[in-house]
Amino acid sequence: MNLAFLPDLSALAILILILALVRRRHSDARADAWLLGLSFTLIESVAHTFYAPQGVPNKALHLVVLDCYLLAGLVFNWAASDQRESQGPRLLYLSLNGLTLMALTTIYGMNLRITEVYIPSVLVGMVVGVVSSLVLRGNWRYALMSLAGWLGIGTLVLRGEFRPAVYWSLACVYAIAAVNFYRRLEGRSAGRLAVVTGFSIWSLCFVMHPWLVDRTAYAEIASHIWNMQKSLISIGMILVMLEEQVSNNEWLALHDELTGLPNRRLFAARLTNAIQYTESMKSCMALVVLDLNDFKKINDTLGHPAGDHVLREVSMVLRKNIRATDTVARLGGDEFIIAATDMPNESAVERFTESLRVAIERPILVNDKPLVVSASFGFAMYPADAKDVTKLLRLADQRMYGLKRRPVYAAQIEAPVKIVAQA
């Protein structure tokens, strides 16, 4: 047993433990994949400590080390892939290509050095790589890159350079992981920098390993670099999770959790900007408030989950039917507010609110049954009605509730309530 590896092994184990603790507060599929990938690297590190100081490694240990390298790389690529894509084709693509690569690492791990043994794996890998890229990924660039990679591996195998062939394949896996993480993680993230740097170094280590293995003068510094990148990746992943948690908390501080719309705080900031824009353009702005008619009956008759579903659907309708320059927010309960800029007069605002009313009254499926809801609107114009935000909001509220109290209007909004009760 090589005791010199124990400090780095302990550090890696501690970092994985910290990542697991952080993951409990930031649980997602990608974090689970990170933990699985780092667990494979920990197994590899444990096996490495039992390598003999000189000579050919034990077959079982060598096999564990190489296959763990590959499995960790494949898992990291899964974690780095676009989670919005369909998981089935991605998993099948990764599994098929991973199996062909594992055949290569397994043969080498068993210390077999016969060209004829490697050739079938190379040919199958080439075919699988090209076909899976075209069929499962629908990407001819992936097919060309896969073909080029396997041609390079095959050329090295034919020349009897088995170690460079295997470590070249591992370098490609980790280089792809570095590129994928670079593309998927937030651009200004410190964690992204650490993760991408770590995987780039790891890939470079695989490329350099066949050259360094026979040069003992560089062995010690290579060993330190080798262990450094594992710690760098672990720390980077912890940073990514913490940064995403902070970003999520910032988002929640400015948005309504149920609907995803801006909350009062964010709306107030955007309203200030809208007023400044209106003044600079010497135009008019409308502050529109609306609430859903008899929304309490939905909660009472169909339950709060149904009410929440209605609020989310109405929020989506409002988001789709306002202009890019407008801002819609949820004030609370069933009440929403809109800041609509560039409204030349009250007639334009009335046409705008009428289009929203029509859109809201389209049936919504609740528990597989159509439900029609209606909304009441009120608005105030800036600067014609008031220049103070508080006065604008109070006036818009008064007009909305005044409209609700009109007998004719009250009779009109009863029909949707009856549909709600029947649903």
Q: Are 126 and 143 in contact (CB under 8 A)?
A: no
Q: Give the pLDDT confidence score for residue 418 in this predicted structure.
A: 43
Q: Among all chains, which residue has been given the structure tokens 């609740």? A: 366
What is the structure's pLDDT at 26?
Answer: 64
pTM value surpassing 0.75? no
pLDDT at position 422 is 39
pLDDT at 177: 94
Q: Return the number of other C-beta atoms located less than 10 Å from residue 355's C-beta.
A: 12
Q: How far apart are CA 411 and CA 413, in angstroms?
A: 6
CA distance 138 to 301: 49
Q: What is the pLDDT of residue 421?
A: 40
Looking at the chain, which residues constitute the CATH 3.30.70.270 domain(s)? Answer: 264-422
Whether the Cβ atoms of residue 184 and residue 82 lie closer than 8 Å to each other: yes
Give residue 408's pLDDT. 46
The dotted CATH code for 264-422 is 3.30.70.270
**If the chain, 423 residues long, is cut into consecutive pieces of 10 residues, what is the mean pLDDT of each piece?**
71 84 71 87 86 73 92 92 75 93 94 92 95 91 93 94 94 94 87 92 89 70 74 86 84 92 94 93 94 90 92 95 94 94 93 94 88 92 92 93 66 45 37
What is the model's pLDDT at position 232? 85
Neighbours of 306 (CB within 10 A): 19
| Cβ neighbours of 147 (radius 10 Å) | 15
**C-alpha 346 chain-centroid distance:** 43
Alpha helices in 82-218 (DSSP H): 87-109, 115-135, 140-158, 162-184, 190-212
d(CA 25, CA 35): 14
- Predicted pLDDT of residue 176: 94
pLDDT at position 316, please? 95
Q: Which residue has the tokens 């009335």?
A: 350
